[in-house]
Amino acid sequence: MKKIGIIICARYQDCGGGTHPIPLKYLKTLDKLSFWDEADMKELAGSLMTEHRDVMESYD
C-alpha cells in the first residue's frame, strides 16, 4: 500500500463522535483512492458522508 500522508478514521465513534463533518477537500482526495471503493469505506463512514456539500466545504 502506498503512503500518501493522510489519516483516515473508518468508524465515526472512533473519531471522537461528532466533532465536525468531513472537509470536502478530504472527501475529494478519498474518492481518488482505489481502496476507498474496494473496502466500501463510504458505508463504514456512514453519516460523515451525508452532510450537505456546503457544510463540508466550510470545513476545508
Residue 12: its pLDDT value, please?
Answer: 47
pLDDT at 2 over 60: no
Q: Which domain holds residue 41?
A: 20-58
pLDDT digits (tens, 9 = 90+) for 26-50: 888 888 888 888 888 878 777 777 8
Element (H, E) at 58: helix 53-58
The alpha carbon of residue 17 and the mean position of all alpha carbons in its chain are separated, in whole angstroms, by 14
Phi-psi region of 38 (alpha: psi -120 to 50; beta: other; left: phi over 0): alpha
Cα torsion through 14, 4, 32, 35, rounded to 10: -60
Domains in the chain: how many in total? 1
Amino acid at 58: S
Q: Is residue 9 part of a domain?
A: no
- Tell me what the pLDDT averaged over the chain comes to: 74
